[in-house]
A and B are shown apart, each in its own frame.
Chain A
Amino acid sequence: MNKSDQQNLPLVPDWLASKLDNWIKAKDRPHPTSYQINRKNIYILPSKSGWLFILTLIAILSGAINYNNSMAYLLCFFLASLGFIAMLQTHQNLNRLNISPAQSHAVFCGQDIEFNYKISDQNFQHHYALCFAHNDDPISVEKKSEAEFSITEKSKKRGRQSASRFKIYTEFPLGLFHAWSQISINNEIIIYPKPVKHLLTENNYQSGNKQSTIVEGDDFSGIREFRRGDSPKKLAWKSIAKTSQLYTKEFHTEAGEFLIFDFDQLSHINNIEEKLSILCALIIQAHNDKKDYGLKLPDKSIKPGHSEQHKHHCLTLLALYKS
């Protein structure tokens, strides 16, 4: 089955399907923490094979009447009852499942998001072959236990993105009925800016020029002659007063150098998004190079450090900047 088939309802014209979907949407409000699938939000229709099955039943019934064949009657009635029971079983396969959001990992803008969820049985029964419209792999939930799944979405822009509604469906056990439910849970994820390497900053970073526009240490380590481009904030005023020469303070960490990535120093770039992207790339690079780094934004700053947590912290700050 391809994806477009999974999203559409079996043998239901598109206009009717979208009407149905709107109706479902109006009925269901977003659930803050978890979504309980129950008979109020399960919808069920015969699948394509199910419609064919119904036609076959009619054919067998007319054959039975025509040839006055008791066994054909019996077969027809058996299949009709089977269809009815299969409908209940398909419904039951989806009924009383509880879905709650699980830890999802932040992504960079442009990457696919994987919203992770936990799904647990509350009915003391096995649930087989639960499928998702945006995910190829069906899952099973065992009796009184929990399973995980993820729904992939495209990231739109940096900042927070909440999960959109998704469809869970099943045709188990006989494939004659299509039961589904539309899940909407408040599940949010941070989207970091898209990292963009910039030639200018790249050079500064590589040469290790600590006095560059955006790369600076924090601990005072000495003074040197002023060079063009040094920040006026870092001027060593005492030395200037003594010698009337311009000096700049140099900053280093005890263990070595650390880097401060400063938003304001990227003055030659006008676009905020681009600035954030460049900073993002620098943070990743510094993280991968195992260097200590800090971040300075106009409204907030983070002290230098180095850890996964620190990286996430910095990138989150970028992600949420003025959004």
Chain B
Amino acid sequence: MNLSSLKNMLFVKADSQLIILMLMVSLPHFEYIPWWSVILVLLLSVWRSLIISKNKYRPGKVISASLTILSAIFIYQKSGGFSGISAGSHLLVVMAFFKLLESKNSRDYMLLVILSFFIIATNFLFSQSIATAAYMFLCLFCTLITMVSINQNKSVVPLREKAFISLKLIAFSLPIMIVLFLFFPRITGPLWNTNNDQPQAKTGLSDSMEPGLISQLVYSNELVFRAKFSNQIPPQHKLYWRAITLLNFNGKKWTTTSESEASAVLHINSSGYEYTVTMEASNKKWLFLLDLPYQISNKHHISSDFTSHTDKAINSLIQYTANSSQNYYISNNLDPHFESLALTTPGLNNKSRKLAEKWRQQSASSEEIINQALAFFTQQGFSYTLSPARLTRANGIDQFLFETREGFCEHYASAFAILMRHAGIPSRIVLGYLGGELNPIDNIISVDQSMAHSWTEVWINGKGWVRIDPTAAIAPDRINLNVSSALKDKKNLPLHLKINSETLLAIKQFMSAIDNQWNQWVLNYDETHQKKFLKFLTGADYSLKDISNLFIQIILITLLLTGFAYLFNNLKKKKDPIKNDYQLFLKKLTKAGLPKKISEGPRDYKDRLIKHFPAQKQEISFIIENYINLRYRKEIANASAERLRKAIRQFRVKKST
């Protein structure tokens, strides 16, 4: 195939454009659908391009139908049904390519275009980032070009013209789109049960902790949430974002408990930080709150372990405002049942237990025990590393504390918590994120997956739960700076943590600021924001009902006005055109000084007129005779009405000499 025929195919013919379009809109799905479906889709596209270029290998009805049904069954088997977002969109993409294979005429092509709109919509269920939006916009542009190609209908429209037409359509549509986006009444869903719709598992914290789980997250630079502080921004080492607490330990794995402690009596000594968190979809339930939260915006509430969670998995962007303070104490005592849970150890780590018991005997207070433990970590040659030696034995804590002595935050948090329990101090693990990147452009803190962290909380009577982060003792840089500065072996670091260029950082910050605006203005625009926006516009409070009424009223009023205009136009026309014309004729004569007498019939009037204007005898009798015919003899054709009108229009009274 030479270049010009390729160009001809791509720029002119709708069928080849459709292959590219379908691949373009399905491309983001390739990340989520299984590899065998990707290969199937690619094979179908190749087959289709062969059909177009060679004009053979067209599959028969039986073959294409059986192939389609077979793959549908296969997908059904593999993904266990068609319900849910991922199985549904998987099926949609594969079926669309089968339709592409057997499409013949422009009606099939139009169906494919409409399918591609649908695929574009399903893409947004997986990602709503600016990049996705921009890519989808490009796809839409190509869809429009393809639609023009389909409908050029044998007359060849040059590509440049197609692009121009498409851009014109887009340019005219965008303002209407914005108005609809702002004013179309937003209903808070769901309309149907979406519990089955668990999109792909996302990287992120899970509700348990074992060695290696958190260090894995360092390899991801995916955004978790952004926070905007109302007043001052806390320093790096105070940015402990808590998500979940873990109480049960089986020797290897920390898990949550179903039992909840009695609500703590919390005393806040000074007002803390107020901040708004915009959280990306996590597909988990918990929220991220700065240590230690005491207040959160309505709809949410803070549990007794100072975490907060939603009822449903968070699968779209959400926003909440909270207050936190580090200056607090809890006045009540830990209830005995919960205290015993917070002291339970698996009882395998004898060396650790002996060490802890020794500290306990030497120390007068809990604080002293804690300090001894932290000193143990700093002085006994522990190292902070992403790839520690594996803990193979059942007494993993002993193995870590006395043999390997290298680990990541989860190792230290876990070992420290167990040491505390052996020493008789109730303790638990907190999972969350530590730190946050401050963007100087908009002063927003963004937290990504690589900042995942775990630390320990111990119960001290009179103070309540106190945060102790053993990692701080081993790698202070992790607390004050970030992971990459804390780690010694920088070789293994993922690329995004290695990059140290000022320019790249500036670009990253810029993009992040734009992304944040996108989140705030576009993705976050819901019922609440719409109300806020209307309040900003009009100064009045509107409920959803008001907004809907307003919207419907605007449409109805527009329709009514159009209808009235139409009726009015029609009425004006229908008011007996012949009579109107005749009136004009009489008016002209009245002006000439010869008005019709009321008693006079048209015939008599004609005679009188002719007597006065003998020169115009023909004109006058034509008009009046025609008028009589049209008025009183219904069988006369329509055309003479036109002639009468013309004659009357042209009629001028000539002054007889």
Contact = CB atoms under 8 A, between A and B. Distances in A.
Given A49-B111, A77-B177, A129 B155 contact: yes
A63 B150 CA distance: 28
Interface stretch (A84-92, A98-106, A189-197): A84-92
Contacts of B192: 66
Nearest to A61: B184
Contacts of B315: 67
Interface stretch (A133-141, A218-226, A230-238, A267-275): A133-141
B480 interface: no
B148 interface: yes
Given A49-B107, A66-B192, A129-B151, A173 B165 contact: yes
A72 B122 CA distance: 8
A66 B128 contact: no
Contact of A49 (B110, B118, B132): B110
Interface string B175-198: 111001100101111111010010
Contacts of B525: 70
B180 A62 contact: no
Nearest to A129: B153
Contacts of B638: 29
A56 B174 CA distance: 19
A64 B527 CA distance: 13
Given A173-B169, A174-B144, A129 B107 contact: no
A175 B191 contact: no
Interface in B150-179: 150-155, 157, 161, 165-166, 168-170, 172-177
Contacts of A166: none
Contacts of A139: 155
A71 B128 contact: yes
A53 B114 contact: yes
B50 interface: no
The binding surface of chain B is classed by DSSP as helix
A16 to B, nearest CB: 20
Interface in A55-88: 56, 59-60, 62-82, 84-86, 88
Nearest to A55: B114
B133 interface: yes
Contacts of B124: 69, 71-72, 75
A145 to B, nearest CB: 14
B190 to A, nearest CB: 5
Contacts of B154: 129, 137-138
Interface in B507-548: 522-526
A60 B140 CA distance: 15
B121 interface: yes
Instruction: Count chain A CB atoms within 10 A of each CB in B128, B153, B176, B526 and give the residue with the most.
Output: B153
Nearest to A140: B155
B125 A67 contact: yes
A78 B155 contact: no
A174 B188 contact: no
B357 to A, nearest CB: 54
Nearest to B154: A138
A79 B140 CA distance: 9
The binding surface of chain A is classed by DSSP as helix
Given A1-B105, A56-B117, A67 B151 contact: no
A128 B152 contact: yes
A119 interface: no
A69 B128 contact: yes
B447 interface: no
B120 interface: yes
Given A68-B526, A71-B128, A72-B125, A85 B114 contact: no
Contact of A65 (B110, B181, B191): B191
A68 B524 CA distance: 10
Instruction: Count chain A CB atoms within 10 A of each CB in B125, B192, B524 and give the residue with the most.
Output: B125
A35 interface: no
B153 A131 contact: yes
A48 interface: yes
A65 B155 contact: no
A121 interface: no
B224 interface: no
Contacts of B378: none
A284 interface: no
Contacts of A174: 144, 147-148, 151, 169
Contact of A175 (B117, B150, B168): B150
Contacts of B188: 68
A84 B176 contact: yes
B106 interface: yes
A196 to B, nearest CB: 39
Contacts of B165: 89, 173
B276 interface: no
B147 A173 contact: yes
A85 B176 contact: yes
B182 to A, nearest CB: 10
A292 interface: no
A52 B114 contact: yes
Contact of A81 (B155, B157, B173, B317): B173
Contact of B189 (A59, A60, A65, A89): A65
Interface string B108-132: 0011011001101100110010001
A59 B187 CA distance: 15
Interface string B204-216: 0000000000000
B231 to A, nearest CB: 29
A171 interface: yes
B118 A59 contact: yes
Contact of B522 (A63, A64, A70): A70
A247 interface: no
A174 B109 CA distance: 12
A174 B148 CA distance: 6
A85 B524 CA distance: 27
B174 A81 contact: yes
A74 to B, nearest CB: 6
A180 interface: no
A138 B153 contact: yes
A171 B151 contact: yes
Nearest to A127: B155
B343 interface: no
A242 B151 CA distance: 86
Given A72-B125, A77-B177, A139-B155, A1 B140 contact: no
Interface string B352-369: 000000000000000000
Contacts of A140: 155, 157
B461 to A, nearest CB: 45
Contact of A85 (B118, B152, B161, B173): B173
Interface in A137-174: 137-140, 171-174
A29 B524 CA distance: 57
A172 B133 contact: no
Contacts of B522: 70-71, 74
A69 B191 CA distance: 13
Interface in A1-59: 1, 29, 48-49, 52-53, 56, 59
Nearest to A82: B173
Nearest to B527: A68
Given A29-B638, A70-B525, A71-B128, 9 more contacts: A64-B121, A66-B194, A67-B194, A70-B316, A71-B523, A85-B176, A129-B153, A129-B155, A173-B169
Q: Which 9 A-B pairs have the closest CB atoms?
A: A81-B176, A81-B173, A49-B110, A71-B124, A77-B180, A175-B151, A129-B153, A85-B172, A66-B189
27 contacts: A1-B107, A49-B114, A59-B118, A60-B121, A66-B192, A67-B125, A67-B197, A69-B128, A69-B316, A70-B128, A70-B523, A71-B132, A73-B184, A73-B186, A74-B181, A75-B121, A75-B124, A78-B173, A79-B117, A81-B173, A82-B144, A82-B173, A89-B168, A171-B151, A171-B153, A173-B148, A173-B169
Interface of B: 105-107, 110-111, 113-114, 117-118, 120-121, 124-125, 128, 132-133, 136, 140, 144, 147-148, 150-155, 157, 161, 165-166, 168-170, 172-177, 180-181, 184, 186-192, 194, 197, 315-317, 522-526, 638
